[in-house]
Chains A and B, each alone.
Chain A
Amino acid sequence: MVEKSENEQLTDVLKATSDPTRRALLTQLVQQGPTKVTDLAGYYEMSLNAISKHIKVLESAGLVTRKTIGRTHWIEANLTVLTEVENWFRQLKSIWELRMDQLENLLTKGDDNDD
């Protein structure tokens, strides 16, 4: 398997979760555990074909994995890839967190202020 860059991974996860149906699918999978593709199609009153397309997008983003037992496909949520999203948001926030740290140090520990 070709290793995706973190950036590609982030893009795939955000794209996959940009669709409300796929978010609903993912929520359901997290709550219910591994579910058969046919059952998922039933819940959403969608064709097997339509649901399969959504699952493939989630799958290629690494958000779900598929197990085949006999002729049945079981879909399971995999949230470890969300780390990339969390990291990205944290880094965005951290620049100001960092400046606040520095400000706090400066104001509480610095004794060479001009006041």
Chain B
Amino acid sequence: MTDLMVNVSREINAPIEKVFDAWLDAKTLSRFMLPMPGMPEPRTECDGKQGGRFSIFMKVGDDEIPHSGTFLEVDRPNKLVFSWESPFSTDGSTVTLLLNSISENRTKIDLTHIKFPDEESRSNHEGGWGCILEKLDEISTTALA
């Protein structure tokens, strides 16, 4: 299996709804989806609902490099799944965010980015998804105990 998985976890001092909504709003997206530190804010478009599309146009020199996706699952404020399309490859790619409220003003966020080399392995992987997410949830829950 040549798929690639990236996990990033973070605790942020903000209420869970605020952390969640930041991912569904064009204005906030443009302020944290930067290609590199110190680079100009990208132009963004975002239809923040299930099935909605978003686009982030990263400015690199005179060019704009678009990254787009579709919101596949919007379960406010706990779970957000979106596809992630890069102009450089036709590979499928999915980003899953799981949010857990630690306290009124502190939220744990677990991000999983999975790249699928092609459609075939994506469907092979479909069954594994539930397990992965359960595991992540389990981990974040134990971490709080």
- Chain A residues at the B interface, C-beta cutoff of 8 Å: 92-93, 96-100, 102-108, 110, 113-115
Are A107 and B6 interface neighbours, CB within 8 A?
A: no
Residue of A nearest to B11 (CB): A104
A107 and B14 contacting across the interface, CB-CB below 8 Å: yes
Complex: A115 Cα to B8 Cα, angstroms? 27
Are B34 and A102 in contact, with the CB atoms below 8 A?
A: yes
Residues of B within 8 A of A (CB): 4, 6-8, 10, 12-14, 18-19, 22, 27-28, 31-34, 36-37, 109, 111, 113
Chain B binding site: helix, strand, loop or mixed by DSSP?
mixed
Whether A107 contacts B4 by the Cβ 8 Å rule is: no
A110 surroundings in chain B (CB, below 8 A): 31
- The reply to whether A107 and B8 form a contact with Cβ atoms under 8 Å apart is no
Q: A107–B109 contact, CB under 8 A?
A: no
The answer to whether residues A104 and B12 also contact, given A96-B113, A99-B32, A115-B18 and a CB cut-off of 8 A, is yes
Chain B, Cβ-Cβ closest to A114: B27
Question: Is B12 within 8 A of A107, CB to CB?
Answer: yes
CB closest residue in chain B, given A94: B8
CB distance from A107 to the nearest CB of B (A): 4
21 A-B pairs (CB sep. < 8 Å): A93-B6, A93-B8, A96-B111, A96-B113, A99-B32, A102-B33, A102-B34, A103-B22, A105-B32, A106-B22, A106-B28, A106-B31, A107-B12, A107-B18, A107-B19, A108-B12, A108-B13, A108-B14, A110-B31, A113-B28, A114-B27
In the complex the two chains form, is B8's CB within 8 Å of A97's CB? yes
List 15 extra interface pairs beyond A97-B8, A98-B37, A115-B18, CB under 8 A. A92-B4, A93-B6, A93-B8, A96-B111, A99-B32, A99-B34, A100-B32, A100-B111, A103-B12, A104-B13, A105-B32, A106-B31, A107-B18, A108-B14, A114-B27
Most chain B CB atoms below 10 A, which of A93, A97, A102, A103: A103
Contact between B34 and A98 (Cβ–Cβ < 8 Å)?
A: yes
User: Which residue of chain A lies nearest to B25 when distances are taken between CB atoms in the complex?
Assistant: A114
Among candidates B13, B14, B27, B31, residue contacting A102 with C-beta atoms closer than 8 Å: B31
Could you say which of A97, A98, A107, A113 contacts B36, with CB atoms under 8 Å apart?
A98
